[in-house]
Structure 1
């Protein structure tokens, strides 16, 4: 198995929205904001090459949205989706599978694009796009709270072009790649767990967007069922502690990875380390 990790882009979002009921005086100590209360987020993806499969986890915002939409995203930096893949030796046609943790635009928007005639096409023409059935049904019949995050142009081409695989249950999706299903942030979110050289590497997506979200009450305002998130975090953190799991952060601008450790205040994140450092450590 070969793993690669890259940052598609950075973007900015309201800090208060990312930390919910946690007062700014607390969260700003660990994740500072600018004068407009905006904080930087990364948008990272993991590539898993195993056997004859090249699997991409999430694919960013994409580049088909109009100027007005992007003006609210405040995107900056990053490698880009296709350029980031190319830097690691992959073309879009090489991707056999795309695991979408969920269907909010910043996780799945790069999976489609508009061709020169303005028609929607799949970015990864040879790939199956994997998403839970619960999330798919949730996204194509959106509630008013999340409707702006579920964009038909990101979703419908996967179905209409026959590339969609709907997952009903947790378990091993591919050898060495297990999926868990969580429902607090949005219904049917996938958290992939990769078995690599005797360790469990968890792509924590929006269950733990930042290292700062490890404490149980630190939950985003975006979560549709925050009390469910609270319980999901509590149970999974205990499992991660006992299993010595390594967390890979998708959105943390300041950290790629950490472990979790027991402290007098409960389970917390260890000091951060880069993905490159992780690969060097695991050999």
Structure 2
């Protein structure tokens, strides 16, 4: 097995929204904001090469939305999925599976693209199976008013219409092993219904793709919960359970949204679980 970081593009989000009730004077120490109160955000995906399978976890925003839409997110940098795949000798057509932690636009937008003459949408990975779970699919396709702007039908429905959509067999336990993907999954409901957090056994390490359970290294303290979470009081015990396990077992936490810290470890301290070490993807993968 080999793991590769796939940088799909960088953007910015409001720092206050990213840290909820935490004051700017505190969160800006780890995530400094610009003059518009925006902080740097990455969309760092992961590629797993396992035998004859190439599994891509999340796909970023994609590029099919309008200029007005992208204007809200202050895109920056030159990263793209195609450039990142090419760096390791792959292309979109090589991808066999696309695993989506959840279906918010910044995690699955790159799964669907315009066709060549922009008359309809089509899967951006023509040879891939797209994976979510049935509970989350139902939640995303019949969105509540709070999340409606994050669940865009053009990002989601073409995967089903193409016949490429598949559901993970979800066990009753909150942490289960996916026979389809060959890794463990921690199911969490605080951010959105049945977000999936993959745990990958890699050499002698456990690599965890944190998605929106832990957006950045600055979000480690338990009350540091995003304003985007639908159930913040549920996020805190989910995060507590996860971070304690990460400290106990020395998990390597792959941060999807932290533009400046790629992989971290955590440890127990008198103040609770806190940051231990920071690594680049090249250090660990």
The bucket for the TM-score relative to the shorter chain is over 0.9
Give the Cα–Cα distance (whole angstroms) in 1 for the partners of residues 17 and 183 of structure 2: 31
Is the Cα–Cα contact under 8 Å of residues 15 and 33 in structure 1 kept in the other structure? Answer: yes
Give 1:218's aligned residue.
224
Say which is worse superposed, 95-104 or 166-175, in terms of deviation: 166-175
Q: Secondary structure at the match of 2:207?
A: strand
Aligned residue number for residue 123 of structure 2: 122
- Indicate conservation of the 8 Å contact 1:133/1:188, yes or no: no
In 1, Cα distance between the equivalents of 2:47 and 2:68?
31
**Deviation (angstroms), 1:117:** 2.6
Regions of 4+ moved over 4 Å: none
Give the aligned partner of residue 44 of structure 2: 44
**1:26-58 C-alpha deviation (Å, 9 max, x unpaired):** 001111001110111011010000011100000
Q: What aligned pairs does 1:95-106 form with structure 2 within 5 A after superposition? A: 95-106=95-106
CA distance in structure 1 between the partners assigned to 2:115 and 2:40 by the alignment: 30
- Which residue in the other structure is 1:28 paired with? 28
Q: Mark the runs of 5 or more structure 1 residues left unpaired by the alignment.
A: none
Query: The residue matched to 1:223 in structure 2 has which SS?
Result: coil
Aligned to 1:94: 94
Root mean square deviation of aligned Cα? 1.1
Aligned length: 279
Aligned to 1:132: 133
* Residues 164-220 of structure 1: CA deviation (Å, up to 9, x unaligned): 111241322446422221110000101011100121100001000001111111000
Q: Does the residue aligned with 2:28 lie in a helix, a strand or coil?
A: helix
User: Given the two structures, how large is their TM-score scaled by the length of structure 1?
Assistant: 0.96
Moved more, 94-103 or 233-242: 233-242
Say if 2:161 is the partner of 1:160: yes
The question of whether the paired residues in 2 share the 8 Å contact of 1:105 and 1:151 is answered with yes
Question: What CA distance in whole angstroms lies between the structure 2 residues aligned with 1:132 and 1:183?
Answer: 13
Unaligned stretches of 5+ in structure 2?
171-175
